[in-house]
Amino acid sequence: MERRRASRLDKVEPPATIAAGERARQLSRQGRDIIDLGQSSPHHVTPEHIIEAGVKALRDGMTNIESPRGLPEFREAMAEKLARHNGLDINPGGDVLVTPGSKQGLYYSVNAFIGEGDEVLLIEPTWVSFRQQVQLSQGIPVAVPLSEEEEYAITYEGLRRYITPRTKAMVINNPNNPTGRVYTLTELEAVARLATENNLLVICDETYEYFIYGSNKHHTLAALPGMWERTLTSYTFTKSYSMAGWRLGCIVGPEALLEPLVQIHEHTASFVSPFIQMAGIAAVTGPQDHIEDWRAECAGLATAVVDMLNAVDGVHCPLPQGATFVFPRFSMERTSVELAGLLVESQGVVITPGIGFGESGEGHVRIALMRSPAERVREGVERIATALETL
């Protein structure tokens, strides 16, 4: 007998980034020479001191049940990091929830506050899972499309026109995935003004906080006046410490906002493995030199890739201000899905279709700069340029 799935899943689509990565693995297993420029997880191995901290914790017997909120030592380490890097003075006892990856924490944040018919503003283009997470919570995702011609700038007036009596929250990704835009203090003040005037919850994803280029500066939204009490901020160990497979992240916010997230966490993942948290402590308290090395490599690759792509007729690729990708626009009678399919089949290069980041992402593709070693990234972009020149 056929069993019908829950209707709330009907609009949920697979993440474009995961689909791209799975296709890369399939073709690679078939013996194809595949260059993966799709997913954003770094190709680097987790730094040795982090691995050793996790292994030591395993050998010390840290393999059992732990507090849902996380190890006190981990929360203390995060509090010190946030004070040092983000300008946040938090209570580690109640203002941090450790989660099995940042994606899980973001889902908790949406699910804890959004219900049927609630509207959530998504500043687009935006990360592939935000829309789906709102839909899984039976909320209504409302796209706030930013203009490439205006350098994806946020304005108060541009946000305000999407507010309705049903608007309950807003999601912002800074630096932005996929555009690489780093929002200025003035832009974040516009977000803060809108949120304060309309009593909105703001979910802020700061995954790429360490990947900032040139004179651009990262500002933590929750540190702005009036924003701490209405903001949940997501942090991850995936990009800066290459810990994608460890599944470690956290949500930071006032204890009162975190309580409903804890309720969901207690009945789902329950807790994050303590040996993984010990590795996370080593990550934020240990040597940080590799971050600058990776950031510098990404900045150099971004410049090289942008130059290569802008030399192709019909392609426009702005230089990203942050994050770990470029987001070129192409002019041709193909959708971004069709172009991505053509490139993987004919050139063996995996990229992510722009439509996965919202309607305003159509006509673009996202090219990840850290998923493969630098020389393979350059080779992959050469293959892309060759294909585009013949279309």
Same-domain pairing of 26 and 174: no
The predicted pLDDT at position 155 comes to 97
Side chain identity at 207, as an amino acid letter?
T
Task: Tell how many helices (H) and how many strands (E) occur in the chain.
Answer: 12, 14
Same-domain pairing of 272 and 357: no
Whole-number mean pLDDT of the chain? 94
Residue 295 maps to a domain: yes
The predicted pLDDT at position 1 comes to 67
For 63, the 3-state DSSP assignment is coil
335 burial level (CB within 10 Å; 0-12, 13-18, 19+)? middle
| 192-250 pLDDT, tens digit each | 999 999 999 999 999 999 999 999 999 999 999 999 999 999 999 999 999 999 999 99
Same-domain pairing of 302 and 281: no
Residue 376 maps to a domain: yes
The predicted pLDDT at position 312 comes to 96
Residue 345 maps to a domain: yes
Domain final residue pick, 285, 316, 333: 285
Mean pLDDT of 315-324: 97
Residue 2 maps to a domain: no
Residue 33 maps to a domain: yes
The answer to whether 221 and 230 have CB atoms below 8 angstroms apart is no
**Confidence at 304, pLDDT banded by 50, 70, 90:** very high
Q: Over 70: is that where the pLDDT of 253 sits?
A: yes
Domain total of the chain: 2
- Boundaries of domain holding 176: 48-285
Q: How would you classify the pairing of strands 231-236 and 201-205?
A: parallel
Higher local confidence (pLDDT), 366 or 14 = 366
**Confidence at 13, pLDDT banded by 50, 70, 90:** confident
Residue 123 phi/psi, 5-degree rounding, is: -75, 110
The predicted pLDDT at position 272 comes to 98
> For helices 336-347 and 16-29, what crossing angle results, to 10°?
20
Same-domain pairing of 353 and 207: no
The predicted pLDDT at position 28 comes to 81
| 40-83 pLDDT, tens digit each | 889 999 999 999 999 999 999 999 999 999 999 999 999 999 99
pTM: 0.94
The answer to whether 57 and 74 have CB atoms below 8 angstroms apart is no
Q: How far is Cα 374 from Cα 378, in angstroms, rounded to an integer?
A: 6
The predicted pLDDT at position 31 comes to 85
% of the chain beyond a pLDDT of 70: 98
**Confidence at 30, pLDDT banded by 50, 70, 90:** confident
The predicted pLDDT at position 391 comes to 76
Domain final residue pick, 232, 267, 285: 285
The predicted pLDDT at position 17 comes to 62
Angle at 45 between CA 40 and CA 47, to 5 degrees: 115
Same-domain pairing of 232 and 358: no
| 255-276 pLDDT, tens digit each | 999 999 999 999 999 999 999 9
Of 19, 42, 14, 125, residue with least CA distance to 351: 19
Residue 1 maps to a domain: no
Strand-pair partners of 368: 325
> Which residues in 119-154 are b (16+ Cβ under 10 Å) and which e?
bbbbbbbbbbbbbbbbbbbebbbbbbbbebeeebeb
The predicted pLDDT at position 15 comes to 66
Question: Dihedral through CA 158, CA 159, CA 165, CA 167, nearest 10?
Answer: 150
Q: Over 80: is that where the pLDDT of 141 sits?
A: yes
Mean pLDDT of 278-287: 98
| 167-188 pLDDT, tens digit each | 999 999 999 999 999 999 999 9
Same-domain pairing of 12 and 83: no
**Residue 340 belongs to a domain with what CATH number?**
3.90.1150.10
